[in-house]
């Protein structure tokens, strides 16, 4: 086993996309520091735009969905073109050894800690909290916590992605593959449109500005469910299709290097401006319906231009971001649990300012990634070799 693999580049990975992934998770941590302290009632009143900045960093989740759709669909499209089919066995072996070990090991660790704490406490409030957590573990284990809240606050997004991994290969095999070539791209566009239509429907039927539990209702009917959020994944799939099937058009579009860098920069500006103006939890179509579409389109553009190079892509390609990228999955699983300990000192003070949040950011990143690296050695790295042996046993060749 190579214990330093997270610090070493791989020939199969794009350095700029790796760096982008690492950078985005660092922003997720900042967003969740704010949300943990805000939900605990510890944050001092801040300016409207400062609050929207911290809360709006949740848009990075859409970026991970776009990246997932792009990275997963690319090899499947190539396999389908070369072989006329997809090996479901190979796909699910690869995904299972990549995703399940860290996820289920952490869930079992969390379950064990909960049971130990139940034995150690007599406080009825703590006991009731522990019982509630125990009753919710099943939703995490079954990857349905985007419909039924589990123990992981970020588990809804992991569930949504897993639902995509399970369903998309079957869509390619039994629907997409049988369509005439001229209808394949429209079929993906239809998938992109379905969640947008659903969000309009959900917004006008279930969301009300008078709802005292607006955030809960919004998350239940729009933000968390697969049918309300999977268009971000489809945007990544469309980008993959576009890069594979429209090479001549892309070449014509991207001849001017300076124009490429300007457009890449404008995608970032568009993200910042839109999410500053339209807060995530502000009642309205731009915030609760169209925000997903705008974010995923901008991130698809950012991924596209990262692949084309330029000064922004060069920044993301720095080796400094490499371990953050390679540990991003493990770090995402464990970071909310660790923030409970890292932010404990701030939870004992009366109010926390924006400056306090920013000061806590770097220590939180370091603590989360040190733990993530150690957890990676135990719960992720051993299964890389096991995956290779399993694939070899079933006759798989790169």
Quote the tokens at residue 224. 């968390």
**Residue 124 clears pLDDT 70, i.e. is over it:** yes
Average pLDDT over residues 304-323: 93
HSE-up of residue 160 (Cα within 13 Å, Cβ side): 27
* pLDDT at 76 (0 to 100): 96
Given a cut of 90, whether residue 378 has pLDDT beyond it is: yes
Q: Among the listed ranges 20-24, 62-66, 384-388, which one has the minimum average pLDDT value?
A: 384-388
Over residues 336-365, the mean pLDDT reads 86
The residue-averaged pLDDT of 218-245 equals 96
Q: Does 294 have pLDDT greater than 80?
A: yes
Q: Assign 3-class secondary structure to the chain.
A: CCCCHHHCCCCCCCHHHHHHHHHHHHHHHHHHHHHHHHHCCCECCCCHHHHHHHHHHHHHHHHHHHHHHHHHHHHHHHHHHHHCCCCHHHHHHHHHHHHHHHHHHHHHHHHHHHHHHHHHCCCHHHHHHHHHHHHHHHHHHCCCCCCCCCCCCCHHHHHHHHHHHHHHHHHHHHCHHHCCHHHHHHHHHHHHHHHHHHHHHHHHHHCCCCCCCHHHHHHHHHHCCHHHHCHHHHHHHHHHHHHHHCHHHHHHHCCCHHHHHHHHHHHHHHHHHHHHHCCCCCCCHHHHCCHHHHHHHHHHHHHHHHHCCCHHHHHHCCHHHHHHHHCHHHHHHHHHHHHHHHCHHHHCCCCECHHHHHHHHHHHHHHHHHHHHHHHHHHCHHHHHHHHHHHHHCCCCC
In this predicted structure, the answer to whether residue 38 has a pLDDT above a threshold of 60 is yes
Residue 144 is predicted with a pLDDT of: 97
Which comes out higher in pLDDT, residue 357 or 226?
A: 226
* Mean pLDDT, all residues of the chain: 91
Query: Residue 42: what pLDDT?
Result: 67
- Comparing 175-179, 258-262, 325-329, 342-346, the range with the smallest average pLDDT is 342-346
Give the integer Cα–Cα distance in Å for 70 and 377.
27
Spatial distance between the Cα atoms of 69 and 84, rounded to a whole number of angstroms: 20
pLDDT above 90 as % of the chain: 69
Comparison of pLDDT for 74 and 356, the residue scoring more: 74
Confidence of residue 229 (pLDDT cuts 50, 70, 90): very high
Write down the pLDDT at residue 43. Answer: 67
pLDDT band for position 364 (cuts 50, 70, 90)? very high
pLDDT at site 302:
97
């Amino acid at each position: 086993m190579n214990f330093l693999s997270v610090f070493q580049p791989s020939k199969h990975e794009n350095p700029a996309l790796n760096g982008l992934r690492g950078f985005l998770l660092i922003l997720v941590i900042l967003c969740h520091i704010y949300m943990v302290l805000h939900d605990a009632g510890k944050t001092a009143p801040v300016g409207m735009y400062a609050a929207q900045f911290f809360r709006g960093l949740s848009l990075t989740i859409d970026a991970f969905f776009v990246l997932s759709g792009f990275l997963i669909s690319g090899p499947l499209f190539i396999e389908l073109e070369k072989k006329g089919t997809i090996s479901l066995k190979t796909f699910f072996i690869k995904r299972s050894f990549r995703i399940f070990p860290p996820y289920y090991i952490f869930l079992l660790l969390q379950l064990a800690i909960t049971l130990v704490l139940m034995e150690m406490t007599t406080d009825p409030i703590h006991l009731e909290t522990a019982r509630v957590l125990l009753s919710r573990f099943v939703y995490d284990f079954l990857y349905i916590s985007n419909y039924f809240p589990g123990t992981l606050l970020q588990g809804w997004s992991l569930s949504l992605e897993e639902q995509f991994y399970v369903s998309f290969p079957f869509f390619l095999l039994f629907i997409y593959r049988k369509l005439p070539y001229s209808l394949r791209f429209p079929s993906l566009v239809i998938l992109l449109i379905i969640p947008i239509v659903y969000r309009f429907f959900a917004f006008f039927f279930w969301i009300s500005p008078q709802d005292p539990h607006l955030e809960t209702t919004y998350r239940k009917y729009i933000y968390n469910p697969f049918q309300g959020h999977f268009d971000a994944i489809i945007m990544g799939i469309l980008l993959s299709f576009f890069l594979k099937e429209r090479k001549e058009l892309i070449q014509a579009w991207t001849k001017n290097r300076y124009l490429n860098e300007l457009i890449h920069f404008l995608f970032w500006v568009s993200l910042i401006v839109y999410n500053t103006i339209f807060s995530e939890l502000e009642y309205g179509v731009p915030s609760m319906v169209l925000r997903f579409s705008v974010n995923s389109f901008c991130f698809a553009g950012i991924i596209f231009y990262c692949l084309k190079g330029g000064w922004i892509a060069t920044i993301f390609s720095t080796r400094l971001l490499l371990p953050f990228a390679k540990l991003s999955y493990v770090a995402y699983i464990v970071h909310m649990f660790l923030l409970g300990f890292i932010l404990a000192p701030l939870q004992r003070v009366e109010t926390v300012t924006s400056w306090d949040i920013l000061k806590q950011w770097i220590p939180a990143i370091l603590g989360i990634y040190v733990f993530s690296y150690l957890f990676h050695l135990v719960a992720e790295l051993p299964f890389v070799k096991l995956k290779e042996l399993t694939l070899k046993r079933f006759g798989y060749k790169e």
